[in-house]
């Protein structure tokens, strides 16, 4: 759409829609004037008012303005930034309904692409919907118009960063550090040099990897180290590619994080940029279920050969 078309859409009044379905991306599906409309923020069975944001020849896209008749599955999102931040898309849907939707999507994919229908579905593995994510990459940008440094995830459907103060989906150590990290980086001489911060949490500590496009001053590095030192966290710098990542605090000692698998008496060590499952609790449950189904005997071993 060109600028005039976007301005014309902004001036149009919201329309009333009945949501008759829900798509694979979690958007509600409605029909209006012979067209399919994908409605962000709407659930199946709801009646909503929505404002059209995109017009195509065969379909339109819209954003929910108000809910006139709510579906039983609708809940209050746990995150205050939901709807603006693009990190989550289904927090307005009750967790069991989310799982049912994802199972339907998976079944549709099996049928459409593989012509397969599962003979049996195992009961879903569940855990808390918040405080579980142990790894993320935060974008960083100083916005002159707002006179503010932003850190976190992109806005929904945008390349702009959302203005976050915390993230309830992240491990609390990470989610509650967003505002302190914003304040820390905003106070650096080289705040414009840092486009990303990668965060990784183990069972007993956290690692922060500060990517920087230009050299940071000794004063700036000292402030980053002090921030991590106060929390007993690890501090890394990344001036270029992954092969340039190096730890600046602590100087000595174990440079890997770890997580435990108590059912098997194992401790798994990993570097902050290594691949690990972001949900530790679900990972433990998945492993236990797999091993229970294999039913290994005393003389047998189980290999975890998952490779991504």
Taken in order of first residue, the domains within the chain and their CATH numbers are 3-69 (2.40.50.140), 135-249 (2.40.50.1070)
Which two three-digit tokens encode residue 23?
């798509």
- Determine the distance from the C-alpha atom of residue 175 to the mean position of all C-alpha atoms in its chain, rounded to a whole number: 11
Task: Please state the rounded mean pLDDT for residues 222-243.
Answer: 97
Assign 3-class secondary structure to 59-113. Answer: EEEEEEEEEEECCCCECCCCCCCECCECCCCCCCECHHHHHHHHHHHHHHHHHHH
* Confidence at 66, pLDDT banded by 50, 70, 90: very high
- The H or E element spanning position 231 is helix 218-231
pLDDT in tens, 42-65: 999 999 999 999 999 899 999 999
pLDDT, position 72 = 97
* Confidence at 2, pLDDT banded by 50, 70, 90: low
Residue 307 has pLDDT above 70, yes or no: no
* Confidence at 272, pLDDT banded by 50, 70, 90: very high
pLDDT, position 5 = 65
Rounded CA-CA distance 138/285 in Å is 28
Task: Please state the rounded mean pLDDT for residues 112-131.
Answer: 94
Tell me the CA end-to-end span of the chain in Å, nearest whole number.
38
The chain-wide mean pLDDT, for the chain, equals: 94
Strands 135-143 and 148-152: antiparallel
CA–CA distances in Å: residue 53 to residues 11, 21, 136, 163, 297: 11, 19, 30, 22, 59
Rounded CA-CA distance 248/245 in Å is 10
- Determine the distance from the C-alpha atom of residue 264 to the mean position of all C-alpha atoms in its chain, rounded to a whole number: 29
Task: Say if CB 50 and CB 63 are below 8 A apart.
Answer: yes
Residue 6 has pLDDT above 70, yes or no: no
pLDDT, position 146 = 85
Residue 64 pairs in a beta bridge with 50
Task: Please state the rounded mean pLDDT for residues 228-246.
Answer: 97
* Confidence at 3, pLDDT banded by 50, 70, 90: low
Which two three-digit tokens encode residue 294?
């294999």
Residue 308 has pLDDT above 70, yes or no: no
Task: Please state the rounded mean pLDDT for residues 89-116.
Answer: 95
């Amino acid at each position: 759409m060109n600028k005039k078309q976007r301005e014309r859409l902004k001036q149009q009044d919201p329309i009333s829609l009945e949501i008759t379905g829900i798509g694979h991306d979690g958007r509600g599906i409605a029909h209006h004037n012979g067209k399919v409309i994908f409605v962000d923020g709407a659930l199946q069975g709801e009646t909503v008012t929505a404002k059209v944001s995109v017009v195509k020849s065969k379909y339109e896209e819209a954003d929910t303005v108000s809910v006139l008749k709510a579906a039983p599955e609708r809940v209050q999102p746990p995150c205050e930034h939901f709807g603006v931040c693009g990190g989550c898309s289904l927090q307005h849907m009750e967790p069991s309904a989310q799982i049912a939707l994802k199972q339907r999507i998976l079944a549709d994919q099996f049928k459409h692409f593989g012509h397969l229908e599962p003979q049996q579905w195992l009961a879903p593995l569940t855990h808390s919907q918040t405080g579980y994510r142990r790894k993320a990459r935060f974008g960083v940008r100083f916005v002159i118009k707002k006179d503010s440094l932003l850190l976190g995830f992109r806005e929904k459907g945008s390349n702009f960063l959302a203005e976050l103060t915390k993230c309830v989906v992240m491990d609390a150590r990470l989610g509650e550090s967003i505002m302190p990290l914003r304040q820390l980086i905003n106070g650096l001489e080289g705040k414009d040099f840092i486009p990303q911060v990668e965060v990784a949490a183990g069972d007993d500590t956290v690692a922060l990897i500060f990517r920087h496009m230009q050299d940071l001053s000794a004063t700036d590095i000292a402030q980053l180290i002090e921030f991590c030192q106060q929390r007993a966290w690890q501090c890394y710098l990344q001036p270029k590619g992954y092969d340039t990542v190096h730890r600046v605090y602590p100087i000595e000692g174990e440079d890997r994080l770890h997580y435990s698998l108590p059912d098997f008496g194992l401790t798994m060590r990993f570097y902050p940029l290594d691949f690990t499952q972001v949900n530790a609790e679900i990972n433990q449950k998945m492993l236990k279920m797999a091993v229970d189904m294999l039913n290994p005997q005393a003389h047998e071993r189980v290999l975890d050969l998952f490779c991504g």
